[in-house]
Amino acid sequence: MLIKNKKKQTFAKDTQPNIILIKMSRSLAYVIGLLLILVGCLPPPNSVKINSTHLTMGNPSNAQANVSSPNNYLIIKPQYALSYNRSKGYANWVSWELSKSWLGSVDRQNDFRPDESLPQNWHKVTPNEYSNSGFDRGHLCPSADRTNSTANNSSTFLMTNMIPQAPELNREAWAYLEEFCRELVAQKHKLFITAGTYGTGGEGTKGATNKLNDKIEVPARIYKIIVVLPENATLNDINSDTPIIAVDFPNKNSVVQNTGWIRFVTTVADIERKTDNDFFANFPSSVQNALQNKRFDYRSTSLNVDTKCRVHNGNALYIGKSGGCYYFNSKGNKTYVDRELCDCQ
């Protein structure tokens, strides 16, 4: 009897820690399982939605604010968002909202400067690296789209917003399209715009080249995609009938000289094929597909598309929806000229 009692006592003492361990293991397994379920419910890093009005239409290259993506590095500023390419020395694309709230009377700041928001050990392009290159420091987000405050205008002169741009393009067709966008805003529209680049090799005033000072790559093409909405519209108002303007310019002086942007109209789908970007990814596939395949036609659009076409005898010629060609005389009146002078299509 004494021996049996000893055995029972010993057995009870030996098993008590084991029972505690079993219970602790079960609790730990439960906690781990719960954590795995919670982690599994989280979206993958690349699908996390980024809160910026400038990315309302989407993040076309899925840029990330991570130094491990140096050639698709996301920078979000109050004034615009961009995907920076460290190897090229400029942005893959810049996106911004344009509405009347961004426009005012602030003077152009002209304070071109490096972007200190880039990671510390990255080369920061300076304005002097464009000097005597034959190319303009071309804005992607225009200075004139940010005139409601000095700080907002100044932000457009950061070098991450600049590209080596053929002067004839920067000062003519590209500028005409920028002015047209602001005219749409004056007509009570709100725009979402993406401007970007692709390819290598352009032509400036000193001829063709692939790089500036063996550092900054020169893009071959420069595109712009514009979504046009009523000024009080919401995302729910975007549908397959929403006006889309997609334009794809060659970055070559000799090709774009004294011509307008209408000649270079294309589709978003065509730009996607050439850039591997995915535009309008924030929308249902049916709406996305419709917007991607729309081709802007100034003759049938609902928009007022009177826009600068070219310069003739010192006068800026405008082309209208009806096909007329005119300029404004010294009294501010339209003066119509031969239609052939506006052969800008």
**Residues carrying an active site annotation:** 139
- Residue in the structure block whose two tokens are 């993406």: 194
What SS3 class is residue 64?
strand
Q: How many C-alpha atoms does 230 have within 13 Å on its Cβ side? A: 9
Nearest to residue 262, comparing CAs of 282, 247, 241? 247
Q: b/e for 251-264, b at 16 or more Cβ within 10 A?
A: bbbeebeebbbbeb
What SS3 class is residue 330?
coil
Burial of residue 52 (CB within 10 Å: 0-12, 13-18, 19+) is middle
Rounded to an integer, what distance in angstroms lies between the CA atom of residue 146 and that of residue 41? 40
What SS3 class is residue 29?
helix
Which DSSP letter does residue 91 get?
E
Alpha carbon distances (Å) from 140 to 224, 248, 282, 325, 333: 9, 13, 22, 29, 32
What SS3 class is residue 252?
strand
- 143 φψ region: left (φ > 0), alpha (ψ -120 to 50), beta (else): alpha
Inter-residue contact 325 to 318 (CB < 8 Å): yes
